[in-house]
Structure 1
């Protein structure tokens, strides 16, 4: 389980011991606020790292249990992989236990552990009654059969057993894949003295790097990840499944709200109309009228809206899935498959929940035709299913596609062939596939990265291919990056120079800010001809930054404006051209050191290195103490 990242939620009724249990597991008190300490209840979400022995990285989210803070509860559990349902032995199943349980199922949380707390307060008979009460409530739910652990957080009874049960259950959880575009729904925003704005959340998908340029949605504001922390430890990156805090540059605290989403690409839709598949709570359900106001919780957002039915004017209690639309008062960021909770604003109660069929819903007619369309959209065509999976996973082979889409191999291969013919799908390597639009996105990102590199290092021939591949390896599989670079080279979008790569239209050049001063250095080198001084003499006292001046010799050598001349000197190309022309004119096909000295009138200090340079450039060839002009007879 090394290098895997999970988030666990503590859920249950108020005062059933979630915060105390979290502290017993992690030695961290998640009640930070003064009001929480005074009132003895959790108001905001609390977080703590759970130490493991197997390399897994686990965060615990302690969510408020009071009914007044159900919004914070939903925001906290939206990104979890496993829930610990906390029930006190002296009270059993209570109203918030019921509501939390409904919400967890609607959010699609599949893995659960029941922790029966405060066992030291009850006798054996009471403990059996409480356990039986919970089993009856979970019967027939997705958590039926969940493991039970008896604990007392004060004395420490059962804490080690609970830890081991957690680790055992996490082995069954499919950890979130870091491939795909980065997405972080924000559930907390605050400021840190001397640092500025900080946001927290659980990363739904992808990877974020320190220094990354991000977009704050739904506003579309550009921000920068100046610093990344995971449980108060600074990191270079954070990935899907991790709780993380990001120090943002370019935005103030009051410009961000819980429910905003940080993303690293334009893959995510901002929408105020979502088509959904919904299920209703089991009991105490009052009918919902057409266009009734509802409160929608999706990700960490809480948004008011109106529910729109296409096959009825009033929704009564039903066990059947309901296909409908929610028109929101504010924009949210969602993807197909995202889970949501629906609540009635007055009186406040949970109505149901489900998943997003279509993030960008349209205006549809009332009637069976629309219901059929929504049903088709929900079930998804093979093309849709493949595209949806490849959009998230980037690169998959046939076996993985079968597992992800549940399509049989024949239909899958047929659909892939059709997608390739229509240029929607690419065969990246033998029987491994990706999307054309993912290639286009990566291509744009590579060109943007190269452009930024060229602006910073204008004198370099290009960026190391290995460094370029590494830049994108957190978000894209390496074979996909290699494929993209090869295609871009074939299409002329990039060019290669040994191990370096550059944008197709780029040529190394002097930086604009220092161009005049650098040209002065080059002119001085040219003026000295063959009797060039040490390079350090030309740059001594220059106001040009060291980082820039250190790039200049390589630039001159690469552009062949100069050649290496002795270990600590360069010689201008024009000096070599002039000396070669004079030497050719005044010597025979074969010449020795004396003839060269007479022609060029140079001391041995300069003459010997110059003649050796001509040998290196294949202008001359040496045989003992004589040299001959090559057939090429000049510079390339």
Structure 2
């Protein structure tokens, strides 16, 4: 079983007890800077880990609550599975709590828990009023139906209940993909004497392994993985969702900036212009205007840029629109990434949204063809859109039509999927077909299950016909595509194609009664040698009904024990023996008549004529007048 990794974090106003709460949960002190300890507030990101009652290993990010350190909070929120919104029982929701809520909404953090801390400082009546007030103020946020846990981090009250609630929510979390490309936003970079450069971050996707050659972007800085640590323990590799410290060879600390990203080579794009789906927060007091200078936050990156609105003169509070951002420095971004915008001055969160892609140029405003392309991109990550379309085999031309993109763009997406082993490509005559590897493997498993069940129910049939299998799977493809897909799957030896039938690699176990009847039927036929009886009459003598007789006979033919010749079934070894006798005779005598065949093989004319016609078909003999010679 693949080990799953989870990351939870905190949000909330300064001095509401986030760091103390993490200490109570994990036993780890996350304030590591002298200034943090002196001032009693978190300035930089802090990290801890804990083991939940279920056995899940969880990383914890402690993010600063002070308004001056929102940048660090944004960096920490990247990649979280659950956020604990910490609210002090004696103060309630404060201004910074609201800004954190806005940020979490814009980043679409999927799950949250409201933690009312410092309950030891208030009485029960106050606590009830506070909880009611909190629920009312959160009703239009991502925390509107989040569970509420009451704790005192200092006294340890409610900590076990909180752990159980975290465990419960994590059971619903989808596992991050450790099989895709590596992507780790860097939130710290430092040097250790004797080891060199170390970078830390939350691994968003992929698996980092010792000896890998990776890139630091922007800048295409090549670095080799020298060592890896997870929770202060050396490991050989680390998977998506883990907090990771990576010791890199071939790169100096001065070359790496916080906000850079450690990635697999030749996968992600870097650029100064990004296409955006943009949302102005309802709480904003002003519209977002054309050419407005803003602070752009993506992962651990903060870059200044100007907004280029594509379908608005100005974007009012609470409204959505399409835009580009013209950045003052390049950034690594992928479609689907969530971002946050803050005013250049004063620094205040005003909006955010979703990256639709890296653009090559500044687009013209209010152009319908431009907006159509933005709408298509807004439906999802272009690679995800492509993968959704190749959940069954599709041709290049079909994909161009359904995705409404040009051939060059489609080629780029296909190349990315190929580089990450996410697409299977094969030919249907002269047409290239594409199929997502995960979907192809899932489909073949379903096919095998259908064939296996059929073989179990019909052990004498040795597989299912291609036509019946197509019907049972509900396939609507053309017959040519169906045959192509079947043949492609057979190349992986997950199932066999034998003539018109599809068979599993391991046939169903033959039921004892059927196996006994087969043995008796086969033995009876051997006793008749080259003069077998009528099938139905002969089968009845061993307890096989007339309706079942043909199925038994076909099975024996398929496994090579019998041969079907002109309404009669012969043991294979008897036919082989007859062929040897006949061939030896013809080598010496040159020709043979039907009457001589009867005497040679000891059979009547009823059997001699069909046998000779069979040998003619097999190119063993040929008819010349009333006689046969060797071919």
Same fold (TM over 0.5): yes
- Kept in 1: contact 2:176–2:205 (CA 8 A): yes
- Kept in 2: contact 1:211–1:225 (CA 8 A): yes
**Could you list the per-position Cα deviations for residues 40-90 of structure 1 after superposition, in whole angstroms to 9, with x for gaps in the alignment?**
000000000111243422100000000000000000001111100000000
2:499 match = none
1:96 match = 96
Q: Does 2:185 align with 1:185?
A: yes
Per-residue deviation, 1:367: 1.3
Aligned partners of 2:375 and 2:417: how far apart in 1? Answer: 31
Q: Classify 1:73/1:246 alpha carbon distance in 2 versus 1 (closer, same or farther; 3 Å).
A: same
- Kept in 1: contact 2:208–2:237 (CA 8 A): yes
Q: Classify 1:177/1:440 alpha carbon distance in 2 versus 1 (closer, same or farther; 3 Å).
A: closer
Aligned partners of 1:203 and 1:141: how far apart in 2? Answer: 27
Task: Kindly report which structure 2 residues correspond to 1:260-299, keeping only aligned pairs within 5 A, or say none.
Answer: 260-299=260-299
Aligned residue for 1:61, secondary structure, equals strand
Task: Kindly report which structure 2 residues correspond to 1:289-438, keeping only aligned pairs within 5 A, or say none.
Answer: 289-317=289-317, 319-360=318-359, 362-369=361-368, 370-379=370-379, 385-387=384-386, 401=391, 418-419=398-399, 437=415
Mind listing any 5+ residue stretches in structure 2 that lack a counterpart?
403-412, 422-436, 442-631
Q: Classify 1:436/1:306 alpha carbon distance in 2 versus 1 (closer, same or farther; 3 Å).
A: closer
Aligned partners of 1:172 and 1:100: how far apart in 2? Answer: 24
- Kept in 1: contact 2:19–2:62 (CA 8 A): yes
Per-residue deviation, 1:283: 1.7
Size of the alignment, in residue pairs? 417
Task: Kindly report which structure 2 residues correspond to 1:99-178, keeping only aligned pairs within 5 A, or say none.
Answer: 99-178=99-178
Per-residue deviation, 1:235: 0.6
1:393 match = none
**Could you list the per-position Cα deviations for residues 375-423 of structure 1 after superposition, in whole angstroms to 9, with x for gaps in the alignment?**
2332369x86442569xxxxxxx8xx4xxxxxxxxxx66678935999x
1:199 match = 199
Per-residue deviation, 1:130: 1.7
Aligned partners of 2:388 and 2:19: how far apart in 1? Answer: 38
- Kept in 2: contact 1:226–1:246 (CA 8 A): yes
Q: Classify 1:337/1:145 alpha carbon distance in 2 versus 1 (closer, same or farther; 3 Å).
A: same
**Could you list the per-position Cα deviations for residues 406-464 of structure 1 after superposition, in whole angstroms to 9, with x for gaps in the alignment?**
xxxxxx66678935999xxxxxxxxxxxx852575369xxxxxxxxxxxxxxxxxxxxx
2:215 match = 215
- Kept in 1: contact 2:280–2:288 (CA 8 A): no
Aligned partners of 1:419 and 1:279: how far apart in 2? Answer: 30
Q: Classify 1:141/1:439 alpha carbon distance in 2 versus 1 (closer, same or farther; 3 Å).
A: closer
- Kept in 2: contact 1:3–1:55 (CA 8 A): no
Q: Classify 1:178/1:442 alpha carbon distance in 2 versus 1 (closer, same or farther; 3 Å).
A: closer
Aligned residue for 1:187, secondary structure, equals strand
- Kept in 2: contact 1:22–1:60 (CA 8 A): yes
**Could you list the per-position Cα deviations for residues 549-568 of structure 1 after superposition, in whole angstroms to 9, with x for gaps in the alignment?**
xxxxxxxxxxxxxxxxxxxx
Q: Does 2:227 align with 1:247?
A: no
2:82 match = 82
Per-residue deviation, 1:11: 0.8
Aligned partners of 1:385 and 1:41: how far apart in 2? Answer: 41
1:50 match = 50
**Could you list the per-position Cα deviations for residues 100-131 of structure 1 after superposition, in whole angstroms to 9, with x for gaps in the alignment?**
01000100101000110000001112212221
Aligned partners of 1:174 and 1:366: how far apart in 2? Answer: 39
Aligned partners of 2:312 and 2:414: how far apart in 1? Answer: 41
- Kept in 1: contact 2:11–2:63 (CA 8 A): yes
- Kept in 1: contact 2:230–2:238 (CA 8 A): yes
Aligned partners of 2:293 and 2:131: how far apart in 1? Answer: 39
Aligned partners of 2:3 and 2:235: how far apart in 1? Answer: 14
Aligned partners of 2:154 and 2:16: how far apart in 1? Answer: 13
Aligned partners of 1:358 and 1:439: how far apart in 2? Answer: 16
Per-residue deviation, 1:479: 9.6
- Kept in 1: contact 2:335–2:380 (CA 8 A): no
Aligned residue for 1:90, secondary structure, equals coil
Aligned partners of 1:287 and 1:183: how far apart in 2? Answer: 34
Aligned partners of 2:438 and 2:257: how far apart in 1? Answer: 33
1:471 match = none
**Could you list the per-position Cα deviations for residues 562-605 of structure 1 after superposition, in whole angstroms to 9, with x for gaps in the alignment?**
xxxxxxxxxxxxxxxxxxxxxxxxxxxxxxxxxxxxxxxxxxxx
Q: Classify 1:2/1:181 alpha carbon distance in 2 versus 1 (closer, same or farther; 3 Å).
A: closer
- Kept in 1: contact 2:31–2:46 (CA 8 A): yes
- Kept in 2: contact 1:274–1:326 (CA 8 A): yes
Q: What RMSD in Å do the two structures reach over aligned CA positions? A: 2.7
Per-residue deviation, 1:314: 2.6
**Could you list the per-position Cα deviations for residues 587-625 of structure 1 after superposition, in whole angstroms to 9, with x for gaps in the alignment?**
xxxxxxxxxxxxxxxxxxxxxxxxxxxxxxxxxxxxxxx
Q: Does 2:35 align with 1:35?
A: yes
Q: Classify 1:380/1:246 alpha carbon distance in 2 versus 1 (closer, same or farther; 3 Å).
A: closer
Q: What TM-score do the two structures reach when normalised by structure 1?
A: 0.62
**Could you list the per-position Cα deviations for residues 197-218 of structure 1 after superposition, in whole angstroms to 9, with x for gaps in the alignment?**
1111001111110111111100
Mind listing any 5+ residue stretches in structure 1 that lack a counterpart?
391-397, 402-411, 423-434, 444-475, 481-636
Aligned partners of 1:111 and 1:245: how far apart in 2? Answer: 26
Q: Classify 1:129/1:439 alpha carbon distance in 2 versus 1 (closer, same or farther; 3 Å).
A: closer
Task: Kindly report which structure 2 residues correspond to 1:625-636, keeping only aligned pairs within 5 A, or say none.
Answer: none
Q: Classify 1:163/1:123 alpha carbon distance in 2 versus 1 (closer, same or farther; 3 Å).
A: same
Aligned partners of 2:106 and 2:439: how far apart in 1? Answer: 36
Aligned partners of 1:184 and 1:68: how far apart in 2? Answer: 25
Aligned partners of 2:87 and 2:249: how far apart in 1? Answer: 42
Structure of higher CA gyration radius: 2
Aligned partners of 1:421 and 1:79: how far apart in 2? Answer: 34
Task: Kindly report which structure 2 residues correspond to 1:219-230, keeping only aligned pairs within 5 A, or say none.
Answer: 219-230=219-230
